[in-house]
Amino acid sequence: MNNNYLPQPIDTTEVQLPEELNCLIEQVAKNVHEVWAQSRINEGWVYGAERSDALKQHPCLIPYEDLPEVEKNYDRNTAIGTLKLIRKLGFKISKE
């Protein structure tokens, strides 16, 4: 493994998302969770009250709506970061 790796994400701190994207943020966050959960399930993971890599059990293999807020916030931050990057790269987000 290369220990010299230094992540360099594009700086999106100055990007402001318009309020009308709040609904989109939540939809993207839910989908982020669904994609993650489907990937885990495809790898043989199942729900477990406590995470166990050995048993492939994870407490977040539940519907997005049932997640604790701290987990939803993780997915929301991923969604926000993605939407900010799209805007930073010059793309527009609009609803048809």
User: Residue 74 is part of a domain; what is its CATH number?
Assistant: 1.10.490.160
Whole domain around residue 60: which residue ranges? 19-88
Q: How far apart are the two ends of the chain, measured CA to CA in Å? A: 46
Is 6 among the domain residues?
no
Strand partners, 58: 47
Number of domains in the chain: 1
Is 52 among the domain residues?
yes
pLDDT one-digit tens code per residue, 37-96: 999 999 999 999 999 999 999 999 999 999 999 999 999 999 999 999 999 999 999 888
The pLDDT score that the predictor gives to residue 3 is 87
User: What are the distances in angstroms from CA 87 to CA 1, 20, 28, 30, 69?
Assistant: 34, 14, 15, 20, 26
Is 10 among the domain residues?
no
Q: State pTM to two decimals.
A: 0.89
